[in-house]
């Protein structure tokens, strides 16, 4: 079977590692956006994760001439009316200097989230991670899928693994945050892991 080149529309190294690990058995060559130099990023103006994923997939597929897999994901906290939602990655943008590295951005986002939930009892700190995926090529969307994982927002960060809000995302059944899980265990139950595995099954059918 011919190997298909797929551009992964992210410069986030954590997301790249997770997606590559899950899709490693498929006959595809995954290229990150870093392979395409200083390609401009599209505005993420969609009101939903699905809209943003589709827009990014179509944009980068047109810009590179390759199939493009785009993802939009984030955290929805019930006590905050679903925020930070589609603004998850830039939730604390007003607190970060221009060009701040990923670690500093994650730390600022987590600090703002804890401040917003100050005084909210633990049973009411319900939340979910959401991941939408879209594959585009030849000017159209070829595959779309999504998945979620439910949890609670912890009172303070725990764990050194993962990225983003992982140190605050508490899984009651395991008694750990997603940042405390080994990478393989996290991929088995995370929103992104579940969505990418479903995507992989759909992609295998498309390639066949």
Cα separation, 74 vs 101, whole angstroms: 18
Interatomic CA distance for residues 62 and 71, integer angstroms? 16
Instruction: Work out the angle at residue 102's Cα, subtended by the Cα atoms of residues 92 and 97, and round it to the nearest 5 degrees.
Output: 50
Helices (H) and strands (E) in the chain, counts: 5, 7
Helix, strand, coil content of the chain in percent (nearest 5)? 45, 25, 30
Torsion sign over Cα 88, 132, 100, 20:
positive
Residue 119's contacts (CB-CB under 8 Å, 6 or more residues apart) are none
The secondary structure of residue 115, as a DSSP letter, is: H
Whether 25 is a known active-site residue: answer no
Token pair listed for 88: 């998850």
State the catalytic residue, choosing from 25, 34, 72, 94.
72
Residues annotated as catalytic are: 72
């Amino acid at each position: 079977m011919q190997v298909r080149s797929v551009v992964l529309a992210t410069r986030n190294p954590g997301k790249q590692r997770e997606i590559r690990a899950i899709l490693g058995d498929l006959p595809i060559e995954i290229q990150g956006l870093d392979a395409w130099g200083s390609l401009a990023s599209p505005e993420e103006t969609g009101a939903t994760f699905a809209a943003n994923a589709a827009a990014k997939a179509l944009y980068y597929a047109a810009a590179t001439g390759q199939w493009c897999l785009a993802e939009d994901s984030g955290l929805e906290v019930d006590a905050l009316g679903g925020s930070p939602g589609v603004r998850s990655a830039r939730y604390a943008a007003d607190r970060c200097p221009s060009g701040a590295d990923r670690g500093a951005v994650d730390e600022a986002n987590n600090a703002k989230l804890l401040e917003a939930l100050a005084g909210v009892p633990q049973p009411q700190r319900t939340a979910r991670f959401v991941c939408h995926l879209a594959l585009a090529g030849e000017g159209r969307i070829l595959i779309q899928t999504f998945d979620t994982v439910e949890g609670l927002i912890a009172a303070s960060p725990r764990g050194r693994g993962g990225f983003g809000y992982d140190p605050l995302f508490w899984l009651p059944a395991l008694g750990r945050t997603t940042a405390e899980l080994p990478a393989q265990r996290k991929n088995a139950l995370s929103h992104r892991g579940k969505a990418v595995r479903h995507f992989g099954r759909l992609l295998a059918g498309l390639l066949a």
